[in-house]
Chain A
Amino acid sequence: MRGGLAGLALVAVLALWTRAQLSGAVGTLALRDDPRGQDGKPVVLSLVTVDARLGDDRFRVLRGAQAIDVIGDASGWQRGDELTVGGRFSAAHQAVVAEWVAPAPDRPAKKRLGLWGLAGWCVALPVTFQRVGARWAIRG
């Protein structure tokens, strides 16, 4: 009963968050879905990955599955670089006009450490629980 209610509430929470993103209330989907409404608004693209250089002053970044164009000096970036971009969205250019860019050179190392941590987690968990019928008991 308690688990069922928590499950229902969790589904509602996930749906609310998805709706908030699709409506543009949070996240960056509004840059794609409502560019006119976002014109001139400040944007911070946190820890995005450079996908492609589109010229000397334009490059594309990936934020999750979303591709976003950035207008700014592209000469220092290569595909796969991770950075944070701050600027304002331009509907005319369909891009974020960068005011500052902060590289995150240690990001790949952090992701590798995360994978090691995940592996350690997966190894440690089965050792700390034991199967009792259809459920689990805490071992120790």
Chain B
Amino acid sequence: MTHLASVLLPAAVVGARRIGPALVGVGAPDVLARALPMALEALVHAGLPIPEALVLPWGVLHEPIPLALVAVLASEAIVPGDQRAFLRGFALGVAAHLGLDVLQDHHGLGYTWLAPFWDARFELGWIGSEATVRWAPGLAAATALAWVGRWRLDRIRRASRARSPAPGSRLPGSDSGDGLPR
């Protein structure tokens, strides 16, 4: 939830519109590398004969190099005109996710940033791994408020534009393009 807020809150504040790719990027590391193997592990614990080699690979999808490959692969599902924007947004989302994660402390067991080619681990260790639990409700509320505020602001702007037509638009009864009635 904190990761989602790390994209949605700034997007609401700056008025970003095409936020889909950043949302995909911010969620991808945990969906692919945490939720997927956890689901498989739950099936193993439930007694299903899932080979170990099917459970093991996914954790690496939390790291930048595999995520870059995921981004290129996923961009193939996007219309050609939007692919660059998708890759940029995805990278931004991943950066927001990993930027938050690197702050955490896992008792010296950081993230393998260059996996699978180098297994050295690094994290800054500035906050506990569960510290975000305390921030999450406030962040979620702030994000919801920011989006409600932005939605209302958009409505007011649209209504204001509808009331005052742009210069050059034709008004009923006018025969010229200057917008002034004759």
Give A contacts to B, CB under 8 Å. 2-3, 6-7, 9-10, 13-18, 20-22, 25-27, 44, 46-47, 62, 64-65, 84, 86, 102, 104-107, 109-110, 113-114, 116-118, 120-121, 124-125, 128-129, 132-133, 135-140
Q: For the complex, what is the distance from the CA of A10 to the CA of B173, rounded to whole Å?
A: 64
Instruction: Report the number of A-B residue pairs with Cβ-Cβ less than 8 Å.
Output: 151
Q: For the complex, what is the distance from the CA of A2 to the CA of B107, rounded to whole Å?
A: 40
Q: Are B76 and A26 in contact (CB under 8 A)?
A: no
Q: Are B53 and A25 in contact (CB under 8 A)?
A: no
Which of A7, A25, A129 has its CB near the most chain B CB atoms (within 10 A)? Answer: A129
Q: For the complex, what is the distance from the CA of A2 to the CA of B72, rounded to whole Å?
A: 7
- Using known A-B contacts A14-B60, A25-B119, determine if residue A118 contacts B31 with beta carbons closer than 8 Å: yes
Which of A27, A117, A136, A139 has its CB near the most chain B CB atoms (within 10 A)? Answer: A117
Give B contacts to A, CB under 8 Å. 1-4, 8, 17-21, 23-24, 27, 30-31, 34-35, 37, 40-41, 44-45, 52-53, 55-61, 65-66, 69-70, 72-73, 75-79, 81-82, 85-86, 89, 106-109, 112, 115-117, 119, 129-130, 132-133, 136
